[in-house]
A and B are shown apart, each in its own frame.
Chain A
Amino acid sequence: MAKVLEPESGGVALQAVGKRLPKLDALDKVQGKAVYIHDLKMPRMLYGKILWSRHAHARILNIDTSRAEKLPGVRAVITGYNTPEIKVGFLKDNPVLKKDKVRQYRDEVAAVAAESLEIAEEAVRLIEVEYEPLPAVFDPVEAMREGAPLIHEEKGSNILKLPWKLICGDPDEGRRQADFVVEETFLLPWVTHCCLGTSGCLAEFQPGGNLTVYSPTQIRYLAQRDFLEAMAALGLKDKRVRVVSTAIGGAFGSKLDTYPFEFITILLAYYAGRPVKLVFSREEEFFATPARQKVEAKIAQGCTREGRLTFRDVEMVLDNGAYTSWGATTPSVMMMPISSLYKVPNVRYTARCVYTNNIYATAMRGYGNPQATFAIESQIDALAEQAGFDPLEFRMLNANTAGEVTPQGFKVGSCGMKECLEAVRESLNWNEKRGKRNGRGVGVGSLIHVGGGARIYKSDACGTIIKLDDFAKVTVMSGATDMGQGSDTVIAQIVAEELGVCIGDIKVIMGNTDLETWDVGAHASRTTFVAGNSALYAARSAKEQILALAASLLNEPQEDLAIKNSVVYSRRNPAVSMQLERVLRAAHFKTGGTQIVASHFYDPPTQMLDKEMKGNFSAAYTYGVHGAEVEVDRETGRVEILKYVIAMDVGKAINPMLLEGQLEGGAAMGIGYSLMENLQTEKGKVLNPNFLDYKMLTFADMPEITSIIVETGERFGPFGAKGIGEPPLVGSAPAIANAVYDATGKRVRSLPLTPEKLLFDADGSEERGGE
C-alpha cells in the first residue's frame, strides 16, 4: 500500500481523479475474454513460419525451396530472391528477408504460409540453404579494431555513424576544480523483455488491395507508416493500411519498432492471397527479438571538499548487434541522467554504437537510462565515501530543485527529489542501518526521467475524439495505447472528472487507425501526460459545448454552470438544474439539432534537441529514489532483499492503485536486472532461450515493495500528473549494488550481481576499474 505525500490541496474535491479505480478492461481479462494475437482467427487464415539462419555470419550461396513448395498445404514460400527488397529499422540496414548473407542466427532466410502451423513448420524444415561461413565478431571493442570482419561491408566500418556527443560547460576545468575524483568502468549485460505473450501479427488484404494488420504494437501510427512503405514496394502505392491493436501481452519497449517478421507476414498474405498469422514460439521470442543492449561505460566524476559535484565524464561503447533498431538511439536518453541527475555544471558524454554478429538492440523500459544510472549512482556512492560524506547526505547536497535549468537545457518544473530522498531515508531507517559492514546494508539510487513526453520526433502529439450519445454515455477515442499499464482507465478518469460524469458512463476506444487521431506511441512514459492532456482538453471542449446548450435551456449565464454526477446545475443557484442526458436530447431532437462531438490534438510545449543535443525536450521531469536493504550470505554470496522502497515524485497520482502497479512491476524488473537477468550468448548464439535458464523474478523471489508517492503538482500535467512508466526500474540496480557495498565493502561494477561475483574476484570490471 502506498503512502501519499501530498502538496497543499487546492480546495477542490476531485470525484474521479486520485481514486483507486480498477482497470477498465480487467473484467474481460479475468474472464479470459481479452483477445491477444494468439487468440485471433480469421476465416481461411494461414499460418506463417520463418526459417532462421544456421550461422552467425555467412554467405548465402543457394536457397532451394522446391521441396517445401511441393508439400501439400503450403500456400506461399518466400525468400529475399522472389520478393521485393524491404529494409527496416532506424538506419534501414535490416532486409526483412536476407539475401547474399546472414549476420546473425536470428536472421530471416525464408518464410512459409501453410494451412496449419505443423505444415508450415515441416515446410521450413524442407528448405535447403547452402552457406559459406564467414569470420565473425562478437565483442564491440574487437569489432572497432582495424581489420575486424565487417558486418555491413558497404558501410566500411562497424562503428555506426551516430557519433553521440554532449558537452556542457568545461569538463576538463571541472576536473581541475575537483578535490576528489573517482574513475571506474561498469559493464551491463544483454537482457530481454520477457513479455508473457510472444510477438506476432496477422495480415489481411481486402479485395481492393487495402491492408489490415492486427498487431500488439506500441506504435499504431508509426507502424502504419512503415507498412505503407512495404505496400509501395509491392506496387500498392495508393492503398490504405489500417492497423488494429489486439490486447497486448506485455510490451516494455519491445513493440516500439516494426520488425522483419511483420513485413514477412504481410508479404506472405499478399502472395498467398489469404490472411496470414505469424506468432513466435517462446524460443523464437528469446533469440529473434531484439533486446536491451550490452554496455561498457567508463565514468569519472569529481567533487569539491564541500561535496559539490564539479564534473561528470562518461564514455560508452554499446553493442548494437547486427542491425539497427532503437537501441542505437538510447544514448539520447542516457544523456539525460548524465547531464541532469544532480546539479553538475560540467559534463562530457560520448558513445559509440558498434555492429557485431550478436542479436540486435532495441528499446526496453527505461531506454538506456537504467544502464547510465547504474554507472552514475554506483559511483556517486564511491565519490561520497572518498570525500567523506554520507552517500544520502551527499545526494541531498547536490539534489535537483524545482525551477532549475540543467546544463543540457532542461527546464525543470516540479521536482520532488529531496522529498523522495528524505522519504527513503526514513523508510529504510537509514541513519541507524548504514555503515555496519556486517553482511547487512542499505543503499539508494536516485533517478531522473522524462515525465512530460519526449520530443524525439517532430511531433510528440496525441489526438482524442469524444462523443456523447442521447443517454449521456461518453465514448472517448484516443490515439494512445494500453499495454496493461492502465492508460484506458487513467484517460477515463480524466474525462470523467472534467465532464462531471461517472467513470462507468465512459468507454475508451483505442486501437484502430481508421477511427482515432494520431499518436506517436506508447513510449517515453508519455501516455498519462500527453494522452491525458489530449483527453482533458477534448473533454473541456465537449463541456463548453454542453454548457452553452444548457445555458439557453436553463436561462442561466454559461459561466455559472457546471456538471456533476451527470447533472448540469447553476453554481450560483443549485436548484436550477437539468439531467445531462435531457440537455443532450433537447439539443438533438429538434429541427437543426446537434450531437456533441469534440476533439483535441495535444502536442506538449517542448523542443527537439539541437545539434549540440541540448534543449527542453520534455514538458516535465520525473524524479525518484529507490532504496534497498540487503543481506549478503557470506558462505554462498547470495543477496537477499530485506526491504525495498521506491519514492516517486509523480506530480499527481491519477490512480494510486494502478500507479503502485507500475512501481511494483518496474521494481520486479529492476531487481531482476540487478540480481539475475542475463541473456547469455556464445559466439552469437543465445544460450538460454527459455524461462528455466533465463531467470526473471518469480513470486518466491519478490520482496515486499513499499511505494511512497510524492505529489508535487506539475504545472503542465493533467491535474498535475507526470509520466511514470519507466522510472520504477531505473534506480534499482545502483540501489541494490550500493546496499551490497554497504553490507560487504565490495563494489561490484557489473550486472547481474551474481553470487560468484560477490564470492570471488571473477568480475572483469574490477581490474579495469578502480580508483
Chain B
Amino acid sequence: MIAVKISFLLNGDPVTAEVPDQVTLLEMLREHFELRGAKEGCGYGECGSCTVLVEQEAVNACLMLAAFVNGKSVQTVEGLAGKQCRLDPLQEAFVEHGAVQCGFCTPGMIMSAKALLAENPRPSRDQIRRGMAGNLCRCTGYAKIVEAVAAASKRGCSCGESS
C-alpha cells in the first residue's frame, strides 16, 4: 500500500490529505474528513447512497478511488446548506414533501437530484425517474422524492451554482 498526497476542493474549501492508494473516495470522506453524510449501502455501485458530486457530476463515491479527485472539486451533502444552515431548495423540498423516511438514502438522493437539476433545471417527472434510477430507496416508494425534486426545480433553485 502506497500513500498518496492529494489536494482538492471539498465543499468549497481547499484541503489536502494523505491516503493509501486503494482507499475509495467514500472511505476518505467518511473516515479522514469525518463527513458521514454519504452512506455505504452496498459498496459496489448498486444503490447510490454514497452519491457525491465531483466536478458537479454525481458519482458513486464507493467506486471511485480517493486519489482520483486530486485537483478536482468535491461536494457532499454537508456542503449544500449555507454556513448558517440555510438549506438548499432541494433539502427544503425533501423536508416539506415528506421525501424522507429512514433517511439512509436521502443524502445520496439529494446529491443525485442536484446533479440532475444542474443538467436539466426543469425535468419532467419521467426524466426525474430515469435520471435517478441508480438511487435505491426501500421506504418511500419514490413518489414523494419525485414530488420533492419537481418542486425544487419549480422554485428555480440555486441548483447548478455551488452553494
Contact = CB atoms under 8 A, between A and B. Distances in A.
Contacts of A660: 98, 143-144
A704 interface: yes
B74 interface: no
A697 B43 contact: no
A702 B129 contact: yes
B135 A691 contact: no
B107 to A, nearest CB: 4
Interface in A23-37: 23, 25-36
Interface in A467-507: 483-486
B42 A282 contact: yes
A29 B100 contact: yes
B144 A196 contact: no
A692 B45 CA distance: 10
14 contacts: A27-B87, A30-B103, A31-B78, A34-B103, A38-B39, A193-B138, A194-B138, A196-B104, A282-B44, A661-B141, A664-B144, A669-B138, A698-B142, A699-B135
B81 A282 contact: no
A535 to B, nearest CB: 20
B35 interface: yes
Q: Which one of B40, B103, B137, B145 has the greatest number of beta carbons of chain A within 10 Å?
A: B103
A36 B104 contact: yes
A667 interface: yes
Interface in B9-48: 30, 35-44, 46-47
Nearest to A20: B98
Interface in B57-89: 76-78, 80-81, 85, 87
Interface stretch (A242-250, A351-359, A425-433): A242-250
Contacts of A697: 141-142
A280 to B, nearest CB: 11
Contact of A26 (B36, B85, B100): B100
A700 B47 CA distance: 14
B142 A248 contact: no
B132 interface: yes
Contacts of B146: 699
A190 interface: no
Contacts of A668: 138, 140-142
When A and B form their complex, which 5 residue pairs have the shortest distance between CB atoms, in order from nearest?
Answer: A32-B37, A484-B102, A29-B103, A668-B141, A664-B141
Interface in B91-109: 91, 94-98, 100-107
Contacts of B78: 31-32
Nearest to B20: A118
A700 B81 contact: no
A657 interface: yes
State the main secondary structure of chain B at its contact with A.
loop
State the main secondary structure of chain A at its contact with B.
loop
Interface in A238-282: 247-252, 281-282
Given A196-B136, A282-B43, A690-B42, 17 more contacts: A22-B98, A23-B100, A26-B100, A34-B103, A38-B39, A197-B39, A197-B104, A198-B41, A249-B104, A282-B47, A486-B101, A657-B97, A664-B140, A665-B139, A668-B141, A699-B135, A700-B130
Q: Which one of A31, A252, A658, A697 has the greatest number of beta carbons of chain B within 10 Å?
A: A31
B159 interface: no
A282 B103 contact: no
Contacts of A63: none
B56 interface: no
Q: Which one of A197, A660, A697, A699 has the greatest number of beta carbons of chain B within 10 Å?
A: A699
A33 B95 CA distance: 14
A396 interface: no
A525 B106 CA distance: 24
Nearest to B92: A30
Interface of B: 30, 35-44, 46-47, 49, 76-78, 80-81, 85, 87, 91, 94-98, 100-107, 110, 128-130, 132-133, 135-146
A214 B13 CA distance: 34
Given A32-B107, A702-B143, A39 B136 contact: no
A700 B129 contact: yes
B65 to A, nearest CB: 16
Interface in A180-221: 193-198
Given A484-B103, A699-B146, A32 B133 contact: no
A196 B142 CA distance: 14
Contacts of A36: 39, 104
Contacts of B144: 657, 660-661, 664
A640 to B, nearest CB: 14
A705 B77 CA distance: 29
Contacts of A486: 101
B91 A702 contact: no
Contacts of B96: 22
A705 B95 CA distance: 20
Given A32-B35, A32-B36, A699 B142 contact: yes
Contacts of A22: 95-96, 98
Contacts of B143: 660, 664, 702, 704-705
Contacts of B37: 31-33
Q: Which one of B36, B49, B80, B104 has the greatest number of beta carbons of chain A within 10 Å?
A: B104
A705 B141 CA distance: 9
Given A26-B94, A38-B39, A39-B36, A698 B136 contact: yes
